A and B are shown apart, each in its own frame.
Chain A
């Protein structure tokens, strides 16, 4: 059981897919301008990694080795389409904001990476936990990045104004939003800062 817990919590820090394995960076740049889409994206990716891991782990003994990548792709793509359809039906506004990025979960390296590296060689329950762990580990970074980008770039969090209107220069104040935060490169720099902090606290991750 403690081993299972390790599958679940390992990806939070020591094996974090974004800041340790450097996977899934592309979507981390794209959907982190605001907190809300980042959270929905994190949950969607968690659902997809968890269930693709589960399904592939159940199938692992029957999958022909020669077409296993194709099988993985079909399973992942089907799950992503399901998630996309459900989002469109129940949270239309957010699905419009995420637009193509939901479809692009298919190309998120974390999903296929975990299926190929973990689910094909482990039992279903362990794989399911590993998928949830990795999805949440990815989501954590997304939320941290989105927190800074929305706060500094738009002066709000989850759409609620944090920095008072009266501070803004247009209203006669002294403050102005950092427009650079709205552009993808800043997400990369924030991810870099997170990696810096993370490694300085975890000496065993530092390359010699």
Chain B
């Protein structure tokens, strides 16, 4: 036998020669990482790999068994952990609702009354948190979950599309059903550092104090590119996050609009005896905020 074989312990490279190379040409590991391979050691291994285990029948059988085992394993794990994950999810929602009201220290169960309203603002039956899981569908079906705090403020869940995926959040309104008390927004995959800024407390604090009605007309809150011009209904859009900002604008407008009958009856009650005329939303306004 003229040459010996040396195997690199790091990457598995096999060098043929009288001595191990100074450094491994593949991964640059030093000579000390090489071990000499004995012929006898190599022969049975090769045989083991290439004998029957490479026949088509074996491969098909092997992959089938493997897939079934892995599938069973993963489904068992998913089912076993689901209750815990759902509980986490629910807690997260409750925390977000309290956070939008700046009432983190309150207990959700005693502080917030959750119910569902229909298009006309009348209470209907429905499981609030089940609806929250798929808000776009709930909106399409005319079921609008809402959270009313003990102190008269309300929290409205909102949903829309950002640049890369869904954005959603909770808008808290003061007792006048007009002033934004707080907002919590989250997103699935907006660009970090740009669109993802909507999820930061710093950005969300800009919404506090904005009003969603101009007189009796519903105008929502707009994220204005180039800086807010109207201090009452606009906030600065995120530079570099124009699409996300537009998505948030549309999300606020389209989601809050669903609650108009309820908000207006509550407003009327708050500002009574002046009877508020339900505001018409012009198509122009609508088109603009979808731009």
Contact = CB atoms under 8 A, between A and B. Distances in A.
Interface stretch (B74-82, B145-153, B233-241, B252-260): B74-82
A183 B91 CA distance: 31
Interface in B77-117: 77-78, 81, 84-85, 88-89, 91-92
Interface in A113-151: 116-118, 121
B29 A15 contact: yes
Interface string B221-248: 0000000000000000000000000000
A89 B88 contact: yes
A105 to B, nearest CB: 15
Given A65-B53, A117-B12, A85 B85 contact: yes
A161 interface: no
A73 B272 CA distance: 67
A71 B62 CA distance: 9
Interface string B53-78: 11000110011001100100110011
B76 to A, nearest CB: 10
B54 A71 contact: no
A67 B84 CA distance: 36
B54 A82 contact: no
Given A63-B53, A65-B49, A74-B66, A89 B12 contact: no
Contacts of A66: 54, 59
Contacts of B66: 71, 74
> Taking each of A62, A64, A81, A121, which has the highest tally of chain B beta carbons within 10 Å of its own beta carbon?
A64
Contacts of A71: 62-63, 66
A74 to B, nearest CB: 6
B85 to A, nearest CB: 5
A92 interface: yes
A126 to B, nearest CB: 11
A70 interface: yes
Nearest to A204: B30
Interface residues of B, number: 36
A207 interface: yes
A183 B84 contact: no
Contacts of B84: 89-90
Contact of A21 (B27, B74, B81): B27
Interface in A75-116: 75, 78, 81-82, 85-86, 88-90, 92, 100, 116
Contact of B63 (A70, A85, A118, A205): A70
B85 A74 contact: no
A85 B11 CA distance: 32
A67 B30 contact: no
A2 interface: no
A21 to B, nearest CB: 6
B10 interface: yes
Interface string B28-63: 111011000000000001001110011000110011
A2 B67 CA distance: 37
Contacts of B67: 74
B215 interface: no
Contact of B77 (A20, A70, A82, A204): A82
B273 interface: no
Nearest to A85: B81
Contacts of B73: 78, 82
Interface of B: 10-12, 23, 27-30, 32-33, 45, 48-50, 53-54, 58-59, 62-63, 66-67, 70, 73-74, 77-78, 81, 84-85, 88-89, 91-92, 189, 193
18 contacts: A21-B27, A61-B48, A63-B53, A64-B53, A64-B58, A66-B54, A67-B59, A74-B66, A82-B74, A82-B77, A85-B77, A86-B77, A88-B81, A88-B88, A89-B88, A92-B85, A92-B89, A204-B30
Given A64-B62, A67-B62, A205-B30, 5 more contacts: A64-B54, A65-B53, A74-B70, A86-B81, A88-B81
A-B CB proximity, top 9 nearest: A92-B88, A89-B84, A89-B81, A117-B12, A64-B59, A78-B70, A204-B30, A64-B53, A65-B49
